[in-house]
């Protein structure tokens, strides 16, 4: 009897371990097989730093992932791999969020998709967990294929916080302590959020300045746009509330309030931004993409959604607020147009506009959404080159000056090689021929082959089934929590 029980135990253990292995192999993503970093000479190209004159027939020398020399192409230089191509800095997304580790393999997937769409640097503006730190480290040391990653760490908010993963600062002392803690971890920015008090915000601002770390984020409702200086304002927070009002708890700002902004308030917000050295990262694509969650027939998903696992369709219904009826859809459409008017006026008044997307919000596909943002900004600015500057030279200036967003000696070797002039048509960026990130020289064919491998994995029966069940349980828990809150 005892031996029989031991055998049963061994068999059951084997079955459990076997099932666990099947689950693990179903969830584990493939490794992206792309070239390693290498020194290289790129010859016979036209260098385009958006906003600056094109340098024709140039040679770029790359060593250890850095541009070490740029000179007119001459006899003795290597043969051209893309003769007469335009070379521009890789795109930078100034506002993204990273999926948590529990979304198995999606950190690796998102990293690959950024490259597919020409994005070579991203800034995580509010991590959901510590795994984002490890991801950034692996990306920045070339252990993982993907863009260069900068990070603000967790957001700092008041009590109650808007997100469970926030660091809560209710006093000035809390603010100083948290900034020092984040600085010790090596963050690249400090992100503030909606419910921070005036004393806590001022302490955060001062301590961040002492630590030489830029402050970005939402304009705290208790502070208002007039109370922030030298800040990279995310979205258009604070703009609709020049009169000192605020939205309901849990909202950055409402479409109705954006639509109710008076002409005098519009001008006042511009004047404050100009005087206080405020820049904006409007993430217009984010507000547009949320309409897909409201009515997918009227606002169909983008091409890039085919590269995301099926469970995201369920997740996007719960991850953040989106319009849910015709009245809210109409208000959102009008708010988008009013937001465009403000961004256009800000640009015309010399206020810097950064290109960001808020990736991980509903239907905001990594990489692709930045191209959509550029389409929108190009329309708003009436200049494709100005839109490109937002995603390269301007973003680079604010995130890592002279290192990203520009092709110059000493900058990182992050660039796109294009067969036509992107200033004439942004399609040239979508159709890039070669991409260089951290010194990795990647062809379009090589990258697309890896994306196809990832598509096969994430659309496979095993992955879809396991993650679908997990998301169904999660959605059920979310619905229960929502009912309990109400």
**387-426 residue pLDDT tens:** 999 999 999 999 999 999 999 999 999 999 999 999 999 9
Question: When comparing pLDDT for 66 and 461, which is higher?
Answer: 66
How many other CB atoms sit within 10 Å of the CB of residue 486?
A: 5
Alpha carbon 128 to its chain centroid, in Å, reads 14
pLDDT value at position 13? Answer: 47
With beta carbons less than 8 A apart as the criterion, state whether 66 and 413 touch. Answer: yes
Find the range with the poorest average confidence among 6-20, 208-222, 458-472: 6-20
| Residue 12 pLDDT grade (very low, low, confident, very high; cuts 50, 70, 90) | very low
Helices and strands (H and E) in the chain: how many: 16, 16
Across the range 443-460, mean pLDDT stands at 95
Rounded to an integer, what distance in angstroms lies between the CA atom of residue 228 and that of residue 276?
A: 7
Residue-level pLDDT at 23 = 52
One-character DSSP codes across 164-214: TTPEE--SHHHHHHHHHHHHHTT-S-EEE-TT--HHHHHHHHHHHHHTT--
Question: pLDDT-based confidence at 27, cuts 50/70/90?
Answer: confident
Q: Which residues contact 23 (CB under 8 A, 6 or more apart)?
A: 466
Statement: residue 480 has pLDDT above 70: no
pLDDT in tens, 176-191: 999 999 999 999 999 9
Residue 78: pLDDT above 60?
yes
Cα dihedral sign for 399, 402, 408, 410?
A: negative
Tokens of 162: 């808007």
CA distance 107 to 85: 32
End-to-end CA distance of the chain: 56
pLDDT (mean) for 165-185: 97
Helical segments of 382-443, H only: 384-389, 395-400, 427-430
Comparison of pLDDT for 468 and 110, the residue scoring more: 110
Tell me the H-state helices in 243-318. 255-260, 263-275, 284-294, 311-315
- How does residue 14 score in pLDDT terms, banded at 50, 70 and 90? very low
Q: Domains plus CATH for the chain?
A: 100-408 (3.20.20.140)
Contact 404, 147 (CB under 8 A): no
pLDDT at 122 over 70: yes
Contact 393, 402 (CB under 8 A): no
Q: What value does the mean pLDDT take over residues 274-281? A: 98
Prediction pTM value: 0.93
pLDDT band for position 474 (cuts 50, 70, 90): low
Q: Are 369 and 286 in contact (CB under 8 A)?
A: yes
Q: Which residues, 6+ apart, have CB-to-CB distance to 276 below 8 Å?
A: 225, 226, 228, 229, 230, 231
Query: Which of 4-8, 372-376, 472-476 is predicted least confidently?
Result: 4-8
pLDDT band at 486 (very low <50, low <70, confident <90, very high): very low
Q: Which of 14-18, 129-133, 208-212, 273-277 has the lowest mean pLDDT?
A: 14-18
**Per-residue pLDDT tens over the stretch 294-344:** 999 999 999 999 999 999 998 898 878 889 999 999 999 999 999 999 999
Cβ-contact 30, 457 below 8 angstroms? yes
Average pLDDT, the chain: 91
List 92's β-bridge partners, or say none: 121
Q: Does the structure show a pLDDT above 90 at 82?
A: yes
- Residue in 232, 237, 167 with CA at minimum distance from that of residue 205: 232
**pLDDT for 250:** 81
Say if CB 286 and CB 364 are below 8 A apart: yes
Share of the chain above pLDDT 90, in %: 81
Q: Which pLDDT value is given to residue 476? A: 47
Q: How far is CA 44 from CA 186, 314, 389, in A?
A: 39, 48, 23
Q: If we measure between CA atoms, which residue out of 78, 73, 76, 74 comes closest to residue 47?
A: 73
Q: Strand, coil or helix: what is 228?
A: coil
Residue 384 has, within 13 A of its CA and on its CB side, a CA count of: 11
Rounded Cα–Cα distance for residues 346 and 342 (Å): 6
* Contact call for residues 412 and 66 (beta carbons, < 8 A): yes
Q: Which of 274, 285, 279 is closest to 378 using CA atoms?
A: 285
Residue-level pLDDT at 180: 98
Region of residue 391 (phi > 0: left; psi between -120 and 50: alpha; otherwise: beta): alpha
d(CA 23, CA 34): 26
Q: What is the pLDDT of residues 197-234, one digit of tens each?
A: 999 999 999 999 999 999 999 999 999 999 999 999 99
Is pLDDT above 90 for 75? Answer: yes
pLDDT at 20: 45
Residue 361: predicted pLDDT: 94
Give 195's pLDDT tier (boundaries 50, 70, 90). Answer: very high
Model confidence band, residue 26 (pLDDT cutoffs 50, 70, 90):
low
Q: Per-residue pLDDT averaged across 164-172, rounded?
A: 94
Q: What is the pLDDT of residue 472?
A: 67
């Amino acid at each position: 009897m005892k031996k029989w029980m031991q055998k049963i135990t061994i068999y059951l253990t084997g079955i459990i371990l076997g099932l666990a292995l099947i689950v693990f192999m179903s969830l584990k993503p493939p490794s992206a097989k792309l070239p390693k970093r290498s020194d290289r000479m790129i010859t016979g190209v036209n260098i385009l730093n958006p906003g600056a004159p094109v340098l024709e027939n140039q040679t770029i020398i790359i060593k250890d992932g850095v541009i070490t020399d740029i000179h007119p192409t001459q006899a003795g230089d290597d043969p051209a791999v893309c003769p007469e191509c335009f070379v521009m800095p890789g795109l930078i997304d100034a506002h993204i969020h990273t999926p948590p580790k529990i979304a198995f393999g999606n950190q690796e997937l998102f990293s690959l998709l950024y490259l597919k769409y020409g994005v070579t640097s991203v800034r995580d503006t509010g991590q959901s967990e510590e795994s984002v730190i490890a991801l950034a480290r692996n990306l920045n040391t070339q252990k993982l294929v993907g863009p260069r990653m900068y990070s603000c760490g967790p957001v700092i908010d008041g009590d109650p916080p808007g997100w469970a993963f926030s660091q809560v600062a209710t006093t000035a002392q809390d603010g100083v302590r948290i900034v020092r803690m984040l600085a010790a971890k090596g963050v690249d920015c400090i992100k503030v959020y909606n419910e921070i008090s005036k004393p806590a915000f001022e302490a955060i601002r001062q301590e961040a300045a002492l630590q030489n770390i830029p402050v970005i984020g939402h304009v705290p409702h208790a502070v208002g746009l007039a109370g922030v200086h030298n800040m990279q304002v995310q979205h258009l927070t604070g703009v609709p509330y020049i009169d000192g009002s605020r939205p309901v708890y849990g909202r950055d700002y409402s479409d109705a309030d954006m639509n109710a902004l008076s002409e005098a308030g519009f001008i006042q917000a511009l004047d404050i931004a100009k005087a206080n050295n405020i820049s904006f990262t409007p993430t217009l694509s984010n507000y547009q993409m949320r309409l897909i969650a409201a009515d997918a027939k009227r606002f169909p998903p983008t091409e890039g959604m085919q590269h995301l696992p099926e469970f995201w369709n369920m997740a996007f219904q719960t991850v953040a607020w989106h319009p849910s009826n015709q009245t809210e859809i109409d208000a959102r459409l009008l708010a988008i147009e009013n937001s465009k008017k403000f961004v256009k006026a800000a640009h015309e008044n010399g206020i810097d506009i950064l290109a960001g997307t808020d990736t991980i919000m509903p239907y905001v596909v990594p990489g692709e959404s930045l191209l959509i943002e550029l389409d929108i900004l190009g329309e708003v600015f009436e200049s494709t080159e100005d839109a490109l500057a937002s995603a390269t030279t301007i973003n680079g200036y604010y995130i890592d000056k002279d290192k990203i967003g520009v092709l110059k000696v000493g900058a990182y070797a992050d660039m796109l090689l294009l067969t036509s002039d992107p200033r004439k048509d942004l399609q040239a960026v979508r159709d890039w021929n070669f991409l260089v990130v951290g010194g990795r020289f990647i062809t379009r064919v090589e990258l697309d082959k890896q994306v196809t491998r990832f598509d096969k994995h994430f659309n496979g029966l095993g992955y879809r089934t396991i993650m679908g069940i997990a998301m169904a349980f999660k959605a059920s828990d979310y619905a229960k929590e929502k009912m309990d809150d109400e």
